[in-house]
Structure 1
Amino acid sequence: MDSFGRRVPPTVKPTNYVAGLGRGAVGFTTRSDIGPAREAANTAPGGGLQGMQGPGAMPPPPPMPGMQGLGPGQHGPERTDYGQAPEGYVAGMGRGMGDKAIEQGETNPIKEKLARETADLNERNFDQFSGYGGSIFGDSTPYENDDAEADRVYEAVDERMDSRRKRAREAKLVETMKRFREERPKISDQFADLKRELKDVTREEWEGIPDIGDHSLRLKQKKRPDRLTPMTDSVLSSMAAGLDNTGHTGALDARQQKTGGFETPMSGARTPMGGWKTPMLGGGTTSVAGTSSSLTSGLAAARGTVLGLKLDKMSDSVAGQTVVDPQGYLTDLNSIKVNTASEVGDIKKARLLLKSVTTTNPKHAPGWIAAARVEEIAGKAIAARKLIQLGCEACPDAEDVWLEAARLQSSDANGRSVLQRAVTRLPTSTKLWLRAAELEPDANRKKAVLRRALELIPSSVKLWRVAVELEDVEDARILLGRAVECVPHSVDMWLALARLETYENARRVLNQAREAIPTEPAIWLTAAKLEEAHGHGADLVDRIVSKAVRSLASYQVVIDREAWLKEAESAEQAQAPLTCAAVVRHTIGLGVEVEDRKRTWLDDADACLARSSIATARAVYAHALSIYPNKKEIWKRACSLEKKFGSPQQLQETLKKAVECCPQAEVLWLMAAKEQWLAGDVDGARETLGDAFEANPDSEPVWLAAVKLEWENDERERARALLARARSTAPSARVWLKAALLERECEDFDAELQLLDEAITSYPSFHKFYLMAAQACESENKGSDKRLGDMKAARDFYQRGLKKCPKCAALWIGAAALEEKAFGATRARSVLELARSRNKGTPSLWLAAMRLERRHGHQKLAENLQAKALQECESSGELWADCISTAPRPARKGKSLEALKRCDNDARVIVAVANLFVSERKHNKARKWFARATALEPDLGDAWAHAYFFEVKDGTDQTRQDLVDRCVAAEPAHGELWTSVAKDPKNARLDVAQKLRLCAEKLKRAEDEEALA
C-alpha cells in the first residue's frame, strides 16, 4: 500500500535496484554485519550460535543489499580457513579503524604493557592538571610524511635560533671552561708536561726509581698479639701446694702411686721435708693431712722487698744526687704525658707520610727535620737522632738539618761534635758557627770559635756583634776597628765604635762613617748628641741637624715627618733635649700645607704627650709659637704643659712671654696672676693685674680677679674700693653681685640691701639679686633697715623677681620655701603647682614638690608626683637619682637599670648606682662607679662629696688623699649639696678640700638621721 492507503500491485525489480537509494537512504556496514575480527565461533545447525539452540534462538540476519553470496546457505558457503590471527593484530587498523578500536577497548595489551613499563612516572613529570607528561598520540600512532615534514620545520627553526650569537656563546663557553680548568685543574692536565718528558727517561733511570711500597691506609685486620695475663698469688700458691680449688690435694705423689695409695708419705713421724722444716720458696707449711696455708702474704712481701731494694738503689746516684724522690714519686708519674689513642694514630700517619717524603725526595731537608721531630714528639729520641743523621748524610749542604741534629743530641759534647762536622762541610754558614759558639762551655772557647768564624766569614755582621759582646772595652774597641773595615756598611758597628772612643776619636769615627754611609740619618744624629753631651751649645747642634737634613735631601733620601718625630723622641730618651728640639724645628714642617700647620702641629703635640714625650711636645709648641706668636690657644696649651710637667720658673717664663705676645688675652693675664699668687708672690700678682688693667681697662674678669686677690688676702677695704671703681668703670651684673657678697661677708646687711636695690634697678632681669635680697630679709640679721627679718619684704622681693624672671626655678623654690615656713605646706604646694604649670619640663620644681610632701609625711602623694615627673621629664638624671635613692630596697636595682637606660651619661644617676653598690657592700664596684661619675662631670661637687664620704668609711688614707687631690685640681662649683656648703657665708674663705670635708660631714649627719628614723 502507498502512503494514501491504496494497494500497489507487485512489479518486477529493475536491475541494480537498491531500496531507498532515491530518497538518500543509503545502507552502511556495521560490526554486527561482518562479525568480530577473531576466529568466528562455531554455529549450530539452523544458523544459531552454539549454546543457544532451541526455540529462542535468533535466526541469522538477512544479507544487506549488495552483499549477496557472503553468508551461508543461500548466500554461499562461509570461509573459516584464515587461521589464527597474529599476535598484536587489531581489526580495522589497516583501513583506519585504529581509533575506533581504541574507543571500543580493543587496544593491544602487549603494547599497553610496554607503554606502562617505559612510561616516565617521576614526580617531576607530573602535572596536577594534565597528569604525567609524554606523547599525546602514544606509540601506536604511525609516523607519516606530514610528521616528518613538521619535524624538519622545527629542526630548521631550532638551527636558526642556535645560529644567532653562536660565536659569542661559544667564546663565552670556551672562556668559562678555561677559567674552570684553571680553578680546578685535572691531575692529568697538571702533569701533562711532565708526562711528555717521560719519553726521555732511560731504562737505567726507570730501574733506579725506588719502590714506594705499600703505604696505603686501607683497613687491614691486624694480627692480635697473644694476651698473657699473670696468675694471681692464690693460684700460684695452690699449684705449689698441689691443691685444687677446694683446698685439698687432688693427686698422689710418686710414693703414693708406687704403693698404690696405701702407704703414707710419712715414715713414722718423718715429714717429706726432713722434719718440720718450712720450704724455702713456700709461703707456708704443708700439714700432715695434706692441706696448705696461703702463700699470698709471702709473695706480696717478697714483691715489696724487691721494690724497696730497687728504690733504695735508685735513690742516690754516684754523685750523691737524688734521682727518684720517694715522697714525690706519684706526682712525678702524674706529670708524665701519656699519648692517647688518637695521638698515637696521628703520629703513625705522620710517620708514614714523612717516610714517603724522605724516600721519594731524599734531598728535601725539611722532610728529614719533620720526620725527626715526629719521633721526638713520640718520645723516641734515639730514632729521632738516627733519622736526622740520615738527613745529614742525604742533605749535607742544608744548615737547618745540621742545627736540628745538634739540638737533638743528648749532651752538648755530642752537639759540638755534630757542629764540628757541619762547619767542616759548610764553613760559610753563620748559623752553624753561632750555634757552635753557644755550645762551648766557657768564654775563651767561645771567643776562639767566633774568631775562627770571622776568619772564614769576615762580612758577617752577626758574628762581629756577638764577638764584640764577649770582649772587654779595650778588646772590643780593637775588634770594632777591624769590624768597620770588614763591614763598612754596618751602621751599628760605626756607632758602637764611636761610643767606645774618646771625644776626638769619636768625631773622627763619625766623619768616616758619614763618608762610608752618606744616606744614614742616625750617624748625623749621633754626632749631634755627641756635641750636646760634651757641653756644646744649641747653635752647634742646630747646625749639625740642619746640615743633616740638607745632605740627606741631596742624596734623595725620603724620610717622612713621623719618622723624624720618632727620632726626636729617641733623642729625648737619650737625655739629649737640644738634639730633640733641633730635629723638631727642622723637620716638623715637612709635607704639611700652610693652612693645616696649626692643627697638625697641635695634634702632634697631643700625640707626643700621650706617649709621655714631654720634651718633644715642648719643642713642637715652641716651634708653633715661633710661627704663630699671637695664637692664645697655643700659649694656653704650652702653659698647661709647663704647669703639669715643668718647673715654676719655666711656667713663669712661658706666661711672661704669653702676655707679651697676647696682651689682649685676659685668660693669660689671669693665669699669670694666679700662679704668682699661688707661689706666694702677692705683690707680683698685683703688678701683673695692674699691667692687665692697662692692657684691658674695661675687662670684667680682670677687675674681679683683682678684687678676689685683695679679698683672699683680707684686704677688704682695697677690695671694696676696687669694686666701687669697677662699678663706675666697667659695670656689670657680676660686679654688683660681688659687691653685695662682700658686704654680706662683712655683715653690713644695710649696705648689702642698698646695693641690691641699686642692682635691681640697673639689672631687673638678674634673678640672683632678688634671691639675695629675699634671703637677707628672711634671715634674722640685724640692722637699721626695717626690711631685715621681715617676711612680707622677703615675699615682696620674690614676687618682684617672679614677675621679671618667671622661668627661674630657683625663685619659685625659694618662694615656696618661704610660704612653707610662714603658712605651712598648703601655700607652698600651691606655689609649686603654679610654678610647674608655667614651667613645663623643669625637673627641679618636681623634685621640690616631692620633697615637700615627704617632709610632711605624704609618701603616697610624693610617689604619685614622682611618677608624673618621670613621665614629663623621662631623661632627667636628677629625678632618676632621687627615684633610686627613695625606692624600697628590693626595687632599687630595677630602678637603677631603667635609669641607666634613660640617661646612662648623667653623673647624678651614676652616683646613685654607686651608693646602691655601697649599700650592698660591693666596694670595688662602688669605687669604679664613683670614679666614672667624677670623670664624667668633674664640675659636679656632689659626686666628689659622695665619693669622699665612701672613702672615709671604707677607704684608706692613700685613696682619700688621691681623691682630695683630684677634687682640688677639678675645682667643682655645682651641685645641690656642694652649693649649700660653698654659698654659706661662714664657708666663704674655705678652700676646696675643706669644703669637701664639710660636705662629707653633712652626708654623715643625714645618714645618722635616716638610721634613727
Structure 2
Amino acid sequence: MSRRDFLGQPAPDNYVAGLGRGATGFTTRSDLGPAREGPTEDQIKAEVAKRKAQLGGAEANEDDGGNDDAARYQDPDNEVGLFAGGIYEKDDEEADRIWKEVDDKIAKRRQKQREAREKADQDEYERKNPKIQQQFAGLKRALESVTDEEWANLPDPKDLTGRTKRARQARMERFYAVPDSVLTAARDAGQFGTTVADDGTSTADGGNKDGTVTDFAKIGAARDKVLRARLEQESQSGGIVTAGSATSVDPKGYLTSLASTQGAEQSIGDIEQFRKMLKSAVDSNPKQGSSWIAAARLEIAAGKPGAARSLIAKGCQHCPKSEDIWLENIHLNDNRNAKVIAAQAIQANPNSVKLWVEAMKLENDPRSRKKVIRRALDHNQESEALWKEAVNLEEDVEDARMLLAKATELIPESLDLWLALARLETPANARKVLNKAVKKLPNSHELWIAAARLEEQLGEGTRKPVMKNAVKFLAKQNAMPKREEWIAEAEKCEEEGAVITCSNIIEETLGWSLDEDDDRKEMWMEDAKASISRGKFATARAIYAYALRVFPNSKSLYLAAVDLERNHGTKDDLWRALEKAVEACPHIETFWLMLAKEKSGEINEARLVLARAFKQNPDNEDIWLSAVKLEADSGFNDQARELLRTARSNAPTDRVWMRSVAFERQLGDNEAALDLVRDALLLFPSAPKLWMMKGQIYEALGKPAEAREAYATGVRCVPSSVPMWLLYSRLEERSGNVVKARSVLDRARQAVPKCAELWCELIRVERRAGNVGQAKSLMAQALQQMPKSGALWAERILHLEARTQRKTLLAEAMKKVDSDATLLVTAARILWAERKLDRADTWFEKALLMDPDVGDTWAWYWRFLQQHGTEEKRQKLVDKCVLNDPRHGEHWQAVAKDPKNAGKGTEEILKMVAAGLGQ
C-alpha cells in the first residue's frame, strides 16, 4: 500500500492549527457533531414515572432504617436530623463566627508558604514543559535588532506543500535531447528534391513521404512582402538615396538603417496581427475615433503613410464630430492638404477651440493667423484660449489692450485676462482694472498680490497697506489661503524681483491662524530654512524679521538671522543684523564678540564695539579677552598688556591669568610670565594649565630641575590632568631617565585608569627605548582594557607589527571600533604606502567627515595631496580647513599652542604640522 501525501494524512489528536505561532484554538460545529432532536413526550413520561418509583422506595427504606444513601449525600451546611428542629440563636452565630476566624487565621498563616510552593511547582513544570511560544520568545525579541535592509534581503520562503506531487509532475515533464536522426528527418521533410527511383524514373514535385506539400507560391509571396517592407522602411528613413538610375547608400546611417530593417522584418507578424485586430475593432464600431487613430498610427509604424492617410480619412467620414481624429488627419498630411482638412474639420465642428488653434498654426504669415483667430472668436466668444492667442498675435500694445478689454467683458471670471490687462494699462488705469477684477473675482488673492506689486513699481509699496487690506478682505470672504501657499507666493514675488511685496506678504500672513500655544518659533525657523534651501533668501530674511518682532529676545532666532546674512548677505546686512542682536540681547556676549570680530578690519570701530560691550557686561572675561586679542593682533602690545592688567582686577578668573601668562610668553618675556604664573597659582592652585605653563617656562629657561618640581607639584594638586602627566614623563625621558619616565606613567595610570593616551605614551617610551617585546606586552594589556580605542590600534598597526600583518589587524580593528578618525587615517596611510591612491583619498575624506575638529587628519591629507593632488584640490582643502578651524590633535596642538607660532593663521599652522609629520 502506497503511503499518503502529507496533506492527505489525518491530523494528530488534539491538533490545533497555528498553535506554534501563538494562535488559539476554537470549536466549530464539526467538532460538536450534528444537532439532535430532544426527547419525545412518551420518553419524558416514562422518565418521570421511573423517578417517582425511586423516591417511593427511598421513603420505605428510611422508615425501615435500612438505606441511608439520602443522608449520606446531604449538604453538611444544611442541618437536618438531630438538629433539624433547633433554633439558630446568637450563641450559634457567635460560635460560627469564631470558627470562621480560626479557619481564616490558619489559612492565612500558611498562605505565603503555600503560594510560594505552588509558584515554584508551577515554574518547575513550565521549565520542564515549555510552550512553543516560550521557546521562540527569545528569538522574537532578537528580531527587534533586525534592520530594514536585512528584512529586505531575506530570501523568499519555499512552498513545500505538495512537494512530492510536484516532484512527480516535474519528472514527467522533463525534456530530453532529441536524437540527430529525428532532427535530420524533420529538416528533410519540407525540402523539395529530385530523386531517381529504382525503375529509372525521376520525381520532381513538392510532395514528401510524410504527405506534406511545400507551397512555393506562399514562400515567394512572403519573400516579396519582406522585401517590400524593407524598401518602404528605407525610403522613410532615408538610408537609400535614388538619383536617376543610380542608387547610393548613406554611409553615416547605414548601420542604423540595417538595425531598423531587421526590426521591421522581425515585427511583420506582430504588425499583421495588430492590423487584423484593429480592422475588427473598426468594423464592429466605426463611430469610435480612437480605433481609427490607432489603425492609422500602426500603418505609420509599419512604414505605410499612404495607407495611414487613407484610413484616417475614412475615420473622419465616420466620426465627423471627433476633434482628435481630425487633428490626427491634419498631422498626417502636408501643409497644403492639412489646410483643406482643417477647413472641413471646422465646418463640421465650428465650436472646437483646438481645431481653430491648429488651423491658425497652419498659416505662415501673421495677417492670416489673425484672420483665422478672429473668425474663431466669432464662433467662440467665451473661449479664454482663443483670446490669449489673439492677444499674443498683436504687435501693437494698444490693439492688445483693446482685445483684453473686450475679453474681460465677455469672460469676467478669467484671472489671467484681468492680470494681463492690468500689466498693459497705465498705473492709474491698472488700479481701476484691478478694482473691477476684485469685484468680479472676490476670492482671488492673486489680484491683491498684483495690486501690491503695482504699488511697489510706483514706489508706494512701503506706504500703502495693500496686503493688510487683502488679508482683511479675504478673511471676510472666507477665501484666505494657507500659510504655506502665502510663502510660495512670496517666493514667487522674490523670484520676479518684487522684494518689498514679498516682505509685505510674509509680514501680514505668516502668523495667520496660529495661536500662542503653537510652537511658532520652531515652525517659523523651519519655514526659513526651507526657503534658504530653495535659494529664496529674501523670503527667509522676511520670515526671520517677523519672528524677531514676535520673539524680540530669542538668541536662536538672532543666531539664525546672522548666519543667513553671513552666508548669503552683504557685510552691511551682517552688521545691521548684529547691531539689532546686541540691542535686543545686550547681556549675551556672543553677539558682541561676533560684531567685534566682523569689524576687526577697522580697529577703531571694533574698539567702540568692545567699549559698548564693557558697559553692558563689565565683568565678562570673554569680552576682556576679545579686546586683548584685538589689540595684540593689531600690534598694540602695550594696550593689550594694560587691558590684561585691568581685567585681572575687574574679572580675576583663571582664564584671564592664563591669557596674561601666555601673552608674556608670546612676547618672549619669560621672567615676567614666571612672576605672573606664581601669583596666579596662589589664587588658583587647582588650575592644571597654570602648572603646565610654569613647567614649560622653566624648560624654556633651561632649568629642568625647577620644571620637574613644577610638574611634580602640579600632578599632586591636580592628579586627573592627563596632559600634565604627559609633560612630566616626556621631561624625564628627554633627560635620559627612562626608568623615571616609566614610573611617572605608572603613577598616572593609577590616578587616571583606562586612559588610552597614557597607555599609548607608555608603549612609545618602551618602543623608543628599544624594548619592543615589553611594548607589545603593554599593548596587549591596553587593548584588553580598551578594545575600542582607535589610537591604541593605530599605534599597534603602524609601529608594533610587521607590514604584512597590517591589513589583517586593520580589518579586526574596524570591527571592534565603531567610529574613530585616527583609525581611518591609519587605513588611508596604509593604502597610501601601497600606492592605492584613489582609495587612500577616499579614506582621508571619510576621516574628515567623521571628525573635522582633528587637525592631524587635515595635516596628513595635506601631505598626501602635496605628492598626489592637484593645486585646485589642495586649495579646496585649505579653504575647508580654515572654515572648520580644527583645535585638537596630538601634532596640531603641539604646533598651534607653541608661543612662537602665536598670531599665525590656520593655513600656516596646517602647513607647519604637515611639514613636521615627515620628520
Note whether the superposition's TM-score is higher than 0.5. Answer: yes
Residue in structure 1 matched with residue 169 of structure 2 by the alignment: none
In 2, Cα distance between the equivalents of 1:759 and 1:698?
18
**TM-aligned CA deviation for residue 315 of structure 1:** 5.1
In the alignment, the residues of structure 2 paired with residue 997 and residue 955 of structure 1 have an alpha-carbon distance, to the nearest angstrom, of: 15
Q: 2:746 aligns with which of 833, 845, 851?
A: 833
Q: Distance in 2 between matches of 1:711 and 1:997?
A: 23
Give the letter for the 2:789 counterpart: S
Aligned-partner Cα distance in 2 for 1:582–1:431: 41
Give 2:380's aligned residue. 457
Identity of aligned residues (%): 40
2:868 matches 1:957: no
User: What is residue 593 of structure 1 aligned with on the other side?
Assistant: 515
The equivalent of 1:244 in structure 2 is none
Name the aligned partner's letter for residue 1002 of structure 1. G
Whether 1:848 aligns to 2:756 is no
Task: Report 1:129-528 matches (<5 A).
Answer: 158=36, 317=243, 324-328=248-252, 330-339=254-263, 343-409=267-333, 411-474=334-397, 475-528=399-452
Alignment partner of 2:710 out of 783, 797, 801 = 797
Q: CA 1:771/1:480 → structure 2, altered by over 3 Å: closer, same or farther?
A: same
- Name structure 1 gaps, 5 residues minimum: 1-115, 130-153, 162-223, 232-312, 782-788, 1007-1013
1:944 to 831, 839, 858: 858
Matched, 1:999 2:905: no
Deviation at 1:122, TM superposition (A): 11
The answer on 1:701 being equivalent to 2:622 is: yes
Structure 1 742/346 Cα, relative in aligned 2: closer, same or farther at 3 Å?
same
Match in the other structure for 1:262: none
Q: How far 1:581 sits from its partner (Å)?
A: 1.0
**683 and 488 in structure 1: CA distance in 2 versus 1, 3 angstrom threshold:** same
Distance in 2, matches of 1:155 and 1:509, equals 87
Query: Where does 1:841-920 land on structure 2 (aligned, <5 Å)?
Result: 841-883=754-796, 885-886=798-799, 891-903=805-817, 905-919=819-833
Q: CA deviation at 1:401?
A: 1.6
Deviation at 1:426, TM superposition (A): 1.2
Match for 2:572: what amino acid?
A: Q
RMSD across aligned C-alpha pairs, in angstroms? 3.6
- Counterpart in 2 of 1:730? 651
- How far the C-alpha of 1:846 sits from its partner, in A, is 2.3
Counterpart secondary structure, 1:388: helix
Task: Say which is worse superposed, 838-847 or 984-993, in terms of deviation.
Answer: 838-847
Tell me how far 1:985 sits from its aligned partner.
1.2
Contact 1:904/1:910 (CA < 8 Å) preserved in 2? no
Distance 1:316 1:128 in 2: 82
Please give the alpha-carbon distance, in whole angstroms, between the structure 2 residues aligned to 1:361 and 1:905. Answer: 71
CA distance in 2, matches of 1:761, 1:619: 54
CA gap of 1:591–1:881, structure 2 versus 1, over 3 A, is farther
Task: Specify the alignment match of 2:126 in structure 1.
Answer: none
Distance change >3 Å, CA 125–CA 623, structure 1 → 2: closer
**Matching of residue 823 in structure 1 with residue 752 in structure 2:** no
- Output the CA distance in 1 between the equivalents of 2:832 and 2:389: 60
SS of the residue corresponding to residue 382 of structure 2 reads coil
Q: 1:917: Cα distance to partner?
A: 4.9
Greater RCO (CA < 8 Å, at least 6 residues apart): 2
C-alpha change, 1:155 and 1:507, in structure 2 (3 Å) is: closer
Q: Deviations over 1:135-186 (max 9, x none)?
A: xxxxxxxxxxxxxxxxxxx99955679xxxxxxxxxxxxxxxxxxxxxxxxx
Counterpart CA distance in 1 for 2:9 and 2:620 is 97
Separation in 2, partners of 1:968, 1:124: 74
Match of 2:602 in 1: 681
How far, CA to CA, are the matches of 1:843 and 1:361 in structure 2?
87
For 1:454, what is the secondary structure of its paired residue? Answer: helix
**2:473 counterpart of 1:560:** no
Given that residues 507 and 527 in structure 1 are in contact (C-alpha distance below 8 angstroms), is that contact kept between their aligned partners in structure 2?
yes
Quote the offset at 1:928 in angstroms. 4.9
- Structure 1 residues 896 and 128: alpha-carbon distance in aligned structure 2, compared to 1, 3 A threshold: closer
Q: 1:627 aligns with which of 550, 560, 576?
A: 550
Change (3 A) 1:857 1:480: farther
Question: Could you report, residue by residue, the CA deviation over 1:93-120 in whole angstroms, capped at 9, with x for unpaired residues?
Answer: xxxxxxxxxxxxxxxxxxxxxxx9xxx9
Match in the other structure for 2:50: none
8 A Cα contact 2:453 2:461, kept in partner: no
| Greater mean deviation of Cα atoms: 582-591 or 952-961 | 952-961
Aligned to 2:229: none
What is the DSSP-based 3-state SS (H/G/I as helix, E as strand, rest coil) of the residue aligned with 2:887?
Answer: coil
Q: Distance in 1 between matches of 2:6 and 2:542?
A: 84
Deviations 1:265-284 (A, max 9, x none): xxxxxxxxxxxxxxxxxxxx
Letter in 1 for 2:730: A
Q: 1:157 to 1:683 in 2, by over 3 A?
A: closer
Q: Letter of the aligned partner of 1:504 in structure 2?
A: A
User: Residues 534-549 of structure 1: matches in 2 within 5 Å?
Assistant: 534-540=458-464, 543-549=465-471
Q: Take 2:781 and 2:435, find their aligned partners in 1: how far apart are those partners?
A: 83
Partner of 2:699: 778
* 1:562 to partner: Cα distance: 0.5
Residues 522-581 of structure 1: CA deviation (Å, up to 9, x unaligned): 1111121122123235122xx011111111112110311001011111111121221111
Q: Does 1:603 align with 2:526?
A: yes
3-state SS of 1:336 partner? helix
Amino acid at match of 1:591: S
- Go from structure 1 to structure 2 and tell me whether the alpha carbon gap of 1:414 and 1:701 turns closer, same or farther (over 3 Å shift): same
Q: How much has 1:690 moved relative to structure 2?
A: 1.7
Larger CA deviation: 488-497 vs 442-451: 442-451
Deviation larger for 825-834 or 584-593? 825-834
Q: Is residue 760 of structure 1 aligned with residue 685 of structure 2?
A: no
Aligned AA (1:794): A
Asked if 2 retains the 8 angstrom alpha-carbon contact of 1:930 and 1:943, the reply is: yes
Partners of 1:372 and 1:385 within 8 A in 2: yes
The answer on whether the counterparts of 1:473 and 1:500 sit within 8 Å (CA) in structure 2 is no
- The alpha-carbon distance between structure 1 residues 892 and 514, as it changes in their structure 2 partners (threshold 3 A), is farther
Name 2:580's counterpart in structure 1. Answer: 657
Residues 281-329 of structure 1, C-alpha deviations (whole Å, 9 max, x = no match): xxxxxxxxxxxxxxxxxxxxxxxxxxxxxxxx975659x9x98445447
Partners of 1:123 and 1:598 in 2: how far apart?
67
User: Cα distance, 1:402 vs. partner?
Assistant: 1.7
The alignment's TM-score, normalised by the length of structure 1, stands at 0.64
Q: Which moved more, 1:855-864 or 1:690-699?
A: 855-864
d(CA) in 1 for partners of 2:535, 2:343: 51
Alpha-carbon offset, residue 998 of structure 1: 1.7
Give the total of aligned pairs. 705
In the alignment, the residues of structure 2 paired with residue 469 and residue 719 of structure 1 have an alpha-carbon distance, to the nearest angstrom, of: 72
Whose helix fraction is larger, Structure 1's or Structure 2's?
2
C-alpha spacing 1:122/1:936, structure 2 compared with 1 (3 Å)? closer
Distance in structure 2 (CA, Å) of the matches to 1:833 and 1:390: 103
Distance in 1 (alpha carbons) for counterparts of 2:5 and 2:633: 103
**Aligned-pair distance for 1:347?**
3.5
Q: Deviations over 1:853-895 (max 9, x none)?
A: 3434444544444444333323333334445555655555555
Q: Tell me by how many angstroms 1:647 deviates.
A: 2.1
Q: Which residue of 2 aligns with 1:58?
A: none
Contact 1:621 1:638 in 2 (8 A): yes
